[in-house]
Structure 1
């Protein structure tokens, strides 16, 4: 029996178009090879777990000679090669690549992608599985995922390979964090301002993501945060996904997925992404961290914020080029605005405060 690589994930909607048949709560694909002597059988359950085997059509039993690691004859080599080529085609058509080996690491990578659009890169040629997430405005790491023997983390003597993420933290919080199960002094980074978090579900996703969010903020360039009064934010809106123009034409108050630490009373500028690439709307947040009781276009498990439209700009007021001149170089997720952009908003929008 062969299992799919731990860094690949079955994409269930791709199975039937490829040729799988769904029956008895599983998907099955069969392909005869070696002139009808053998049949490759691939089975996928509803959870996306994959197994495969070779059926010997003449002997009417499972064929296993290709699994033997000792040197084998030319015929067995031909069977192995033909079978592997079938599996390779199934993987290419029906699987998506995962960035890391552990489930929690991949869930967090997906959350990072959804929240900010950040993807990992792999900076070490000799350690190709180490993945770094960088702040888009200065290219600094805010998270480094790596695989190490457990002993290097906890001194237990265990050689079990574990996956960890290094995160930057406020040095004043180190002692409290290290008292929590699953959080350790940073591996191969400054122990005064970084910690290593074990990614085996010892620490729940929500807690790890909160640390990720803070790490990203700590390494990023410091946008302006008012000592008093509201914070000023910019968030992206993709017109290919969400018709924000129609939404605001019909409603001056709308619900939006809760972003970052935006609070009621804050000012939110909405940057419409390509092909527009400009701040088009300015809103005030009326409510934050609200329960979703019926916004059909937003997943029910996501918190909401309620925003009120204050002003609509023409696209030449704050286009991307001017935003860059004023210190906002990318809008892939929610971020605080710079003083320069805030000055423009204040001059353009009456009663902004």
Structure 2
């Protein structure tokens, strides 16, 4: 029967392509997992005597240490079975999880995911983060997006900073329309393209697919301002949960 420790190692190898590194001759069963670019650790698996963890008994217990930046969550987890202060790590920034079944495998994997993102470079965070929703402006003075979506349901658009494949963009068409008209899914990013004039600079394009149309009077700028606190749409920006729910 496969142990939880073996399942955890298998999960990290499959999802993050990170292999265990055994750095200490004296502790051959200690395994570190780190990022391939910034070389930061995001997990370390060890087997430790129970009494060194402040637990009764003298058997060796498999544990994993992961990074945790949310101190409130850390304090909550430490009240639960299977979680301990970071063993041999910064106890404010790391937490120990026992791999004895007291914490189910799915939750252990979620904690590894959070640690991976907490320690990742910006480029890698963008690659592995969950999809986000954005409002993206379209200025009809420079491009007729309404005509473009009347002709096709998939178009190329200037790629906004931070937007990745899988994100959702709500296209806000500027004056004289001044309203959100389209919901789109980002299908492709980093399409090579360069353009620059006195009003516009483009370094890359993204491909967006039309999912939904909105009436011109549904999500006007006045409504965005009065109901959702959005006072300007000058570039790609996130949206509040209340607006996200309304747009669905």
TM bin (shorter chain): 0.5 to 0.7
Residues 284, 308 of structure 1: 8 Å contact kept: yes
RCO greater where, 1 or 2, for CA within 8 Å and sep 6 or more? 2
SS of residue matched to 1:347: strand
Q: CA deviation at 1:199?
A: 0.3
Structure-2 separation of matches of 1:114 and 1:211: 16
1:223 Cα shift? 4.8
- Cα distance in 2 between the residues matched to 1:121 and 1:104: 18
Task: Measure how far apart 1:284 and its partner are.
Answer: 4.5
Q: What residue ranges of structure 1 are gaps of 5+ in the alignment?
A: 1-48, 50-101, 226-232, 235-258, 267-281, 288-305, 318-343
Q: Which residue of 2 aligns with 1:192?
A: 92
TM-score (normalizing by structure 1): 0.39
**Out of 19, 26, 35, which is 1:119 matched to?**
19
Which of 28, 36, 40 is the matching residue for 1:128?
A: 28
Residues 262 and 119 from structure 1, CA distance in 2 versus in 1: closer, same or farther, beyond 3 angstroms? farther
Q: C-alpha separation between the residues in 2 aligned to 1:350 and 1:174?
A: 38
The DSSP-based 3-state class of the residue aligned with 1:120 is coil
Distance 1:182 1:347, change over 3 A: same
Counterparts of 1:224 and 1:122, CA distance in 2:
24
Aligned partners of 1:195, 1:143: CA distance in 2, in Å? 10
Unpaired segments ≥5 residues, structure 2: 136-163, 170-183, 194-200, 209-235, 237-248
Cα-to-partner distance string for 1:160-183 (whole Å, 9 max, x where unaligned): 111000111123432111011100
Q: Tell whether 2:82 aligns with 1:182.
A: yes
Distance 1:193 1:109 in 2: 22
1:141 paired with 2:41, answer yes
The structural deviation recorded for 1:135 is 1.5
Work out the CA distance in 1 between the residues paired with 2:103 and 2:187: 39
Following TM superposition, by how much is the alpha carbon of 1:222 offset from its aligned partner in structure 2, in angstroms? 4.0
Shift of 1:265: 5.3
Query: Number of aligned pairs?
Result: 160
Match of 2:10 among 101, 105, 110: 110
Aligned to 2:130: 261
1:166 partner SS: strand
Corresponding residue for residue 58 of structure 2: 159
**Residue 348 of structure 1 aligns to a residue in which SS?**
strand
